[in-house]
Structure 1
Amino acid sequence: MSSVYDPTTYTAQLEAKVERLRALLAPFGAPEPAVFDSPREHYRLRAEFRLWRENEQRHYAMFAPGEKHQAILIDDFPIASQRINQLMPQLKAAWQASSALSFKLFQVEFLTTLAGDAMITLCYHRPLDEHWEAAARQLATDLGVSIIGRSKGKRVVIGRDYAVEELAVGGRTFRYRQPEGAFTQPNGTVNQKMLNWAYEALGEREDDLLELYCGNGNFTLPLATRVRKVLATEISKTSVNAALHNLDDNGVDNVRLVRLSAEELTEALNEVRPFRRLEGIDLKSYAFGSVFVDPPRAGMDPDTCELTRRFDNILYISCNPETLAANIEQLSDTHRIERCALFDQFPYTHHMESGVLLVRR
């Protein structure tokens, strides 16, 4: 499948993904997938560019896969949000006019949100001094953004070190902090569709939810409104801190969040060994009816996959349909696919996000 940006090919490339998902899930008797498309352009909320010197000027640059020495110089980036495309020339003009901003600047990262917030990270091969900070403060004011300066062993924050997102799910708007450097869903429009699908798939319940790999609470916030209480786990300290803020900011008070990996939680639930981070949490007080998982590309390890088998409902969001199919195969003797969906988070690439609701046979 082509990875070249060409809106005229969008419908065909999306249908190819649907066919691929159908084929992977066919052995498990999956129903027809719901398909959630992407905007054809300006869908990506974050972007990262190396800078390339040519004719004594720095330019935004990208590189073909496996090619480090032949830069593709760009002035705009049509798959990125309109805000990123607005900021790109403004930032370039600013570094061209200021040696304090441009000296040994080698990388620029943009993070924007559907809510209109924006943060720019500037990465340097030199220490950041008071001249840089004065110029960066003026830049932040001029562009209406937060600026993060990074050099070896140092980070300078001007404004906030997170962007603010707002997503509408189930008739309610949730507000999210998205920290600099932490994972966030790149396609905000499709993310919102994904959250609403998961919200509907879980349904209104009177029991409890276990969530593995919760990140900054992207799914946790809306799903918590559908159940009695939630036990959520995440290993990244930055994501845990963001999730705690997001729960508090939204007044969601029925979630306990623990910094454990999925493998560690499996050991705790199987009473293999105790964890200090679970002190004060009575695991036996939970009446889990469902588990929600959104694992990395490798999918669930066999032990975690086996853990999910004990739940009546397994709600699974996957960024790798091959590992999703492998996990479903392990579970297929006890669970069947009730719903499935394709979310086109990454148009014009072979990557795709998918979701399944597995229910006990």
Structure 2
Amino acid sequence: MTTGAVNPAHYASQLETKVTRLQQLLAPYTAASPTVFASPASHYRMRAEFRVWHDGDDLFYIMFDAETRAKIRTDQFPVGSELINHLMPAIIDYVKYQPVLRNKLFQVEFLTTTTDQALISLIYHRQLDEEWQLFAQQLKQHLSQYGEIHIIGRAKKQKICLEQDWVTETLTIAGRDYSFQQVENSFTQPNAAVNKHMIEWALAATQDRPGDLLELYCGNGNFSLPLAQNFDRVLATEISKTSVASAIYNCELNKIKNVTLVRMSAEDFSAVLAGSKQSRRATEADVLSFNCQTVLVDPPRAGLDMDTIELVRQYEMIVYISCNPETLAENIGQLANTHEVTQTALFDQFPYTHHMEAGVILTRKVQ
């Protein structure tokens, strides 16, 4: 999204359009209006990336128009966190006069937290050496006036970390602080304020639920850790090796001991529970010992495949977080003979775009 699309004066009407669209998609399954969680109108996005344009002695960030692919100079990014907006000019002003850092710098990526930590990835079209590391350390020191800064240098088949490739986000969820390791290039929720709303909504919806929780697509434990207080145990699955390592780290960081992580895809896990596939990881986790009566899914835009639909159908309550309301509606239709929609929510993760995040609670119909 380019800065030209951002106009806070239009935010309320754009959000209302999304609400109407979600209601239309879910109309076959519920007449209830969704609970709406708005985003801050600016400085809500915790990560961003920009191409770096070299124009003679000048150096600046650009983005591309989604339709025309025209270059748009981007000196500030109002949807980005305040820390991103502090760091953007500070990096350009420093790198512009340091040939070692400037030479063939192609892109800059930012991952920031609400607690003023930042991971900055400098991506080059050349190999990096010890001289680059020396100057990058000096840049890191210069930027430390803005917060806790970490820098990574990347080039083809090369990655140089100055100390670490992650930051720690701390979110206050229903009065309790949770810390989450967020690793470069692994999935994290982009809008911290709306992410808090999503977690608190799921936390309230599952309060007093019996038994254990099954979570598919658990990522770094974004939902697993806060929701663990509502259940005896949590069985969480995730395919990404990096995310599973972060989720385990985050459990230790937050002293949460009733979460079991299994590195498996949702499709493979469904096959294991259906008895059509063997898995050493599932056996080691003793997955059959869990008494899961609730399942939480947060799938990619493609939604749930049919095997996973049949898996989640077995549970009394389904908490479905979706980044694609079209596939959400399709999946609800596939579950409609056994489950009914009892709650809906719209989480505006992506203001000034047509994208939206939705939440739905489905409960098993009384036979």
Does the alignment reach a TM-score above 0.5? yes
Give the aligned residue type for 1:121. Answer: S
Name the SS of the counterpart of 2:261 in structure 1. strand
Q: Which has the higher contact order (CA 8 A, sep 6+)?
A: 1
Match of 2:201 in 1: 197
2-side partners of 1:55 and 1:229: how far apart?
A: 60
1-side partners of 2:361 and 2:188: how far apart?
A: 23
CA contact (8 A) 1:30 1:339 kept: no
Match of 1:57 in 2: 58
Give the aligned residue type for 1:17. Answer: K
Match of 2:39 in 1: 38
Match of 2:92 in 1: 92
CA contact (8 A) 2:271 2:307 kept: no
Question: Given the alignment, which residue of 248, 253, 257 partners 2:257?
Answer: 253
Name the SS of the counterpart of 2:304 in structure 1. coil
User: Deviation at 1:312?
Assistant: 0.1
User: Deviation at 1:30?
Assistant: 4.4
**Structure 1 residue runs of 4 or more that deviate by more than 4 Å after TM superposition:** none
Match of 2:267 in 1: 263
1-side partners of 2:316 and 2:191: how far apart?
A: 31
Greater mean deviation of Cα atoms: 276-285 or 194-203: 276-285
Match of 2:110 in 1: 110
Greater mean deviation of Cα atoms: 325-334 or 51-60: 51-60
2-side partners of 1:290 and 1:206: how far apart?
A: 8
CA contact (8 A) 1:207 1:287 kept: yes
Match of 1:76 in 2: 76
Change (3 A) 1:256 1:30: farther
Question: Given the alignment, which residue of 319, 332, 349 partners 2:323?
Answer: 319
Name the SS of the counterpart of 1:279 in structure 2. helix
Match of 2:296 in 1: 292
Give the aligned residue type for 2:54. Answer: R
CA contact (8 A) 1:169 1:199 kept: no
1-side partners of 2:37 and 2:90: how far apart?
A: 34
Match of 1:140 in 2: 140
CA contact (8 A) 2:101 2:136 kept: yes
2-side partners of 1:286 and 1:182: how far apart?
A: 28
1-side partners of 2:31 and 2:135: how far apart?
A: 57
Give the aligned residue type for 1:84. Answer: I
Match of 1:332 in 2: 336
Match of 1:8 in 2: 9
CA contact (8 A) 1:42 1:81 kept: yes
CA contact (8 A) 2:262 2:285 kept: no
CA contact (8 A) 1:30 1:338 kept: no
Q: Deviations over 1:42-86 (max 9, x none)?
A: 111111001112233221000011545x31111111111110000
User: Deviation at 1:116?
Assistant: 1.6
- Structure 1 residue 119 and structure 2 residue 123: aligned? no
Give the aligned residue type for 1:359. Answer: T
Using structure 2 for the length normalisation, give the TM-score: 0.96
Match of 1:353 in 2: 357
- Unaligned regions of 5+ residues in structure 2, if any? none
| Correspondence 1:212-231 to 2 at 5 A | 212-231=216-235
- Structure 1 residue 301 and structure 2 residue 339: aligned? no
CA contact (8 A) 1:205 1:228 kept: no
Match of 2:213 in 1: 209
Same amino acid, percent of matched pairs: 50
User: Deviation at 1:206?
Assistant: 3.2
Greater mean deviation of Cα atoms: 302-311 or 318-327: 302-311
Give the aligned residue type for 2:180. Answer: Y
CA contact (8 A) 1:120 1:146 kept: yes
Change (3 A) 1:167 1:17: same
Greater mean deviation of Cα atoms: 307-316 or 164-173: 164-173
Using structure 1 for the length normalisation, give the TM-score: 0.97
Match of 1:242 in 2: 246
- Structure 1 residue 29 and structure 2 residue 30: aligned? yes
1-side partners of 2:287 and 2:222: how far apart?
A: 23
Give the aligned residue type for 2:119. Answer: M
2-side partners of 1:49 and 1:14: how far apart?
A: 26
2-side partners of 1:152 and 1:238: how far apart?
A: 20
Give the aligned residue type for 1:131. Answer: E
RMSD: 1.3
- Unaligned regions of 5+ residues in structure 1, if any? none
Match of 1:183 in 2: 187
